[in-house]
Every structure is written in C-alpha cells, then in structure tokens.
Amino acid sequence: MSLSAFAPVSPAELEARLRLHRLPELGPVRFKKLLEAFGSASKAISAPASAWRSLGLPLACAEARRSSEIRDGASHALAWLERPGQHLLMWDQPDYPALLAEISDAPPLLFVAGDPGILEKPQLAMVGSRRASRPGMDTAAAFSRSLAGAGFVITSGLALGIDAAAHQAALDVGGRTVGVLGTGLEKFYPQRNRRLADAMIASGSAVLSEFPLDAGPTASNFPRRNRIISGLSLGVLVVEASVASGSLITARLAAEQGREVYAIPGSIHHPGAKGCHQLIRDGAVLVETIEHILEALRGWQQLPLSTATPSVTHPLLMLLHAAPHTSEALSASSGWALPKVLAALTELEMDGRAVCESGRWFARVS
C-alpha cells in the first residue's frame, strides 16, 4: 500500500475508534468488519442496532457503544495521547508496523509509550520461562546483547524470567528493545518489571499494548498478545521453556505467520529444556551461537547488486535516494518480500548508509 492510499483520521473518527475499541466482545476481526461495512468508525457508532445485528455482532456490543463508560474511556485515551511520548498506531495508517500488518488478526489499534519508530526496524523476539534457571537467564542475556549489538531490536513480553533478562541485556549494550504487554499500559503487570519498562521508555525503546489503557491482567490476554510479539519480529528465539510454556504458543504463532523459529537446546534432565527440544523436533532451527540465527536470516540478505559501484547501486538505496519510503512501500516498489527488505535495511543502517526516522527510511548521503 502506498502512502497516498492512507486517509488521515479526523478527531471525530479517532474518538469513535477509541469507543469501538473498548466494546465487549469486539476483537480485531469484528472491528475491521464494522469499518468495512460502514466505511468509518463514526458511521458504525451511529448506525442502528439492527444493522449491527445483521453483521452477526452480539447485542452487548451494539447496546454498550453509547454508554457513558465507553465515552469516558475514549475521552481518557484522548487525554493520554496528548502527553509527550504516548502514541496510538492504527492498522490503516502509514506508521503502523508493516510486518505486523501482514498477520490475519493484526490489532486495529496499538497504544505505544516511547519511540514508535523502532517498530519499523528489524526485530527478533526472545521468549522463555518465567521461572527460568540461572544458566537460562545468563544465556538469554548473552544472546540479547549479541543480537542487539548486531542491530536487531529485541522484542519480548516484559514477563519475569527470560523476557526481563532479554530486555535488560539489550539496554545494557545501548540497544533497543520492545515490550508487548498483556494488560493496558496503565495497568502494568507484573509490577516487579515496572522500573524496567520505565527504563526502556526513557532510553528510546518502546512498550506497547493492543488493550485499552485500563485493561487489567486477565488470563486470556497473555496468550493473545503473543501473536503481536511474533508478528512484529523476523523470528522468535525460545531460550528455555517447559512443554506447557506460553513460549511454545508464541513459537507456534510465529511458524503460522511464516516467521523463523529458533530454539536453544539444554540438558535432557532439565524440565525447562523439554519445550525447546520439542520445537527442534518440530523443525525449529537449533541454535548454539548467534551465527546460527544470522545464517538463517542471511537468505533474505543475498541481494542482487549490479556490477557498478556498490555504494549507489544497492536496489533499496536507489529507491531511497529518489524519496523516503516506509519499509512496506519499499517492499511494494522493489518486489522483495518484507522480511528480506527489513534484513537488508538492517545491513544498510549498520553500514551507515540508511536511517529510519518516524517510521520512514532515508538514504544517508555520505
């Protein structure tokens, strides 16, 4: 989709979307169904209840949309967005993460605290047990430091254990990291990682959620957020996980979304290794060093360069010299798959030949 295809969202439409987003039983699929049926959230909000029922939507949805609670929640979200460093990304706008937009149930709205621009950069997800062993935590930290140092944004769920170790290690080497919450941004959970989240936001990283700001920690929300962790990323690295771990849900979603799945093996006597061994039997890439991940991604980095001077003739740089592009627009213009574009942009950024600002990529003039 080119930038010209995006229509800006008016203040009234934004308020209507925030109201729709708060409705009970209205997930991403029904949200998009309403927008497609009525043409806008504003029209959906004012349509008769019978029109909603004809789309197969629950009565509770249609009845709640005009309630004071729904209106107040939307007003509160608008006030939250007025504050610096607090953003809302919408699935039909140019600043929405292009790789996430490819998944079938992409969240229509994403609340972001921190720098939303890093969501356009190539991300690798790192997940694992909340009750990780000390060696597992050390392994997660070592891989996160190396991957962040190689230019990848480290994405995880800000849970205890492996998630927290991965986020912290990325910060320790001056890297960027993204935390995806299973609650609203104002109902932070787990509280023990609140300071880590604040440090991420303060250092130019980001914390985000698809849930309304005041959504509390309900059990079903945590598996649901896993599709965002994998959807934002080129691949998912599982560090330590039991067979019943939620990390295996993230890995399964990653495979369904066409992302790479990597797993670090462990001792056959350690219950926390059994989930990783299961993933390897199911076809995940067995990983012992960061090189195994970089090799698996290198298929996207074999770029057809012409025989002239390489500094100008990289195909993506030629497009960027003509005009700034989002990664999605580069994919459309070059005919390359989005993961290949993102991997190539990482290389160009590390070489100092391209830079990402506000979700758009620019060629750096040497």
Amino acid at 47: A
Q: What integer pLDDT is reported at residue 366 of this predicted model?
A: 61
90-110: per-residue pLDDT in tens? 999 989 998 999 998 999 999
Report the CATH fold assignment for 116-298: Rossmann fold (3.40.50)
Q: With a threshold of 0.95, does the pTM exceed it?
A: no
pLDDT tens for the chain, residues 1 to 366: 333 346 789 999 999 999 999 998 899 999 999 999 999 999 999 999 999 999 999 888 888 988 999 999 999 999 999 999 999 999 999 899 989 999 989 999 999 999 999 998 889 999 999 999 999 999 999 999 999 988 899 999 999 999 999 999 999 999 999 999 999 999 999 999 999 999 999 999 999 999 999 999 999 999 899 999 999 999 999 999 999 888 999 999 999 998 999 999 999 999 999 999 999 999 999 999 988 888 877 644 433 333 333 444 788 988 888 788 888 889 888 888 888 888 888 888 888 888 888 788 888 876
> Which pLDDT value is given to residue 226?
95
Q: Which tokens belong to 193?
A: 């990682």
Contact 56, 82 (CB under 8 A): no
**pLDDT computed for residue 13 by the predictor:** 96
pLDDT attached to residue 339: 84
Q: What is the three-class DSSP state of 353?
A: coil
Over residues 38-66, the pLDDT tens digits come to 999 999 999 999 999 999 998 888 889 88
Angle subtended by helix axes 28-38 and 11-21, to nearest 10: 140
Check if the beta carbon of residue 273 is closer than 8 Å to that of residue 285: no
pLDDT of residue 319: 87
Domain boundaries, the chain: 3-69, 116-298, 310-363
Report how far residue 177's alpha carbon sits from residue 170's, in angstroms, rounded to the nearest whole number.
6
Could you say which architecture CATH assigns to the domain 310-363?
Orthogonal Bundle (1.10)
CATH, range 3-69: 1.10.150
Alpha-carbon gap, residue 38 to 23, rounded angstroms? 17
